[in-house]
Amino acid sequence: MCDTCGIGPEYTGSGISVFGKNSDREPDEAQIIQSLPSKKYEVHEDLRCTYITIPQASFTYSLVISKPFWIWGAEMGVNEKGMVIGNEALFTKVKQEKAPGLIGMDLLRLALERGGDAREAAQIIIDLLAKYGQAGACGFRDKKFSYMNSFLIMDRRDILKLETVGRDYALKHTGSQAAISNGITIAQDWDSSSLAPGANFSSFSDKMTTYFAGSAVRKSHNETTIKQAKGRIQANDVFAMLRRHHADSPGKGFNRDVCMHASDPIIRKSQTTASMVVELHPEHKFRILVTGGSAPCLTAFKPFLPAAPFAATGTGAGQYSSASYWWRHEAYYVNALLRYESIKPLAQKYIRDIEEKYVSTFPAHTWDSADDFLVKSSHEAFHGAEEREKKIIEQMKTMNIHSFRLTSLFWRRVAQRSGVRII
């Protein structure tokens, strides 16, 4: 499960465009953040993606991506040209091809590496899809988990929705705002498609799986929030959207929380393992804001510099490691989730303090800026967030676990297999 939104200058009222996404994955699947430089390649070089090898491009743009550690592709990212993409799983009647192909996250990264703007990126995905198809396991532990993909692709001028099933696609220009989740949103109102004129792209949907995925509720909430705040949306508003819970407590009911928490091995088995918000400013400037860990309701967004990344965010695998920012945060997250109601006010104050100190004062910058103030502020934000989380961990030692029994059992098993210590 995931949720993605794109908001143009008409809705921000500031000349800025804003992208936001929660990446929902398996609970102990570390997600890392990489800053990758632009690069030129020799003719006839090959590129190994997650499952197949394809010809390499002659040139790739520099980019920042957030990705599950074991996949070549990415869940979300932005490139130096100011083009941003997030993808969503689609559950459809169409089954994957038997032969391996590109998965949605591969297509996303390839478009970021090769696309100079949103329209070019969309065409790159369409062409790659036609040539290689989309096929391959998309789960870390659950290798039977696979899906089709939708993409929200935006730059400073355009916001596009591209929905794909098998090798077919439907593309729609959305105007000044869009929100997507885990359901097909384009019916017959596409601008271009591989289907015959007048065909209904939504007829591919597996309605039952899509319903239990809770996507309609999540998407509707984000769309309503965007429209109600038209003309005054800021990054903080997108943070709040990505932190939303549908019920009074996270992990209850079907998958209707934008900020997703896993709580059982059957219905709620995914959680938000990473979040990213990107501001695209005029004059080719950016602000890239990430959590670097699970659950934006329990951690702060921090500014991330392409030219000076916080190194520990680029490390992580399938087991706890003290070298990994994601895993160090996960040790806090798991224990906080088991005491959520007690921890909630402490977490909210910590988040407010960090974001007021480091996000609200962090200026927009060029892609390659490594100004001393920017670097110091970015790295201090990550260090400061960790110090606050360590203090809350100490306070947890005097708190009882009070989560539902099934949730507690589920997380104890997850923690045991991944090496996280339950306090």
CA gap 213, 1 in Å, rounded: 7
Structural contact between residues 270 and 260, judged by C-beta atoms closer than 8 angstroms: yes
CA gap 117, 152 in Å, rounded: 13
CA gap 130, 102 in Å, rounded: 11
CA 270, distance to chain mean position in Å, is: 13
Which is catalytic among the residues 2, 49, 138, 259?
2
Q: Under 8 Å CB-to-CB from 213, ≥6 apart: which residues?
A: 1, 89, 91, 181, 182, 183, 255
Write out the two tokens for 201. 């792209």
Residue count (the chain): 423
User: Closest Cα partner for 237 from 288, 280, 282, 277?
Assistant: 277
Active site residue 2: yes
Place of tokens 């009070």: 402
DSSP state of 399: S
Q: Which residues pair with 171 in a beta bridge?
A: 162, 192
For residue 6, count CB atoms less than 10 angstroms from its CB and return exposed for 0-12, middle for 13-18, buried for 19 or more.
buried
Write out the two tokens for 309. 């990344």
CA gap 396, 394 in Å, rounded: 5
User: Closest Cα partner for 78 from 412, 319, 372, 367?
Assistant: 367
Amino acid at 419: G
Write out the two tokens for 24. 């929902």
Q: Under 8 Å CB-to-CB from 220, ≥6 apart: which residues?
A: none
Cα separations (Å) of 253 from 89, 256, 341?
20, 8, 17
CA gap 42, 25 in Å, rounded: 36
Active-site positions read 2
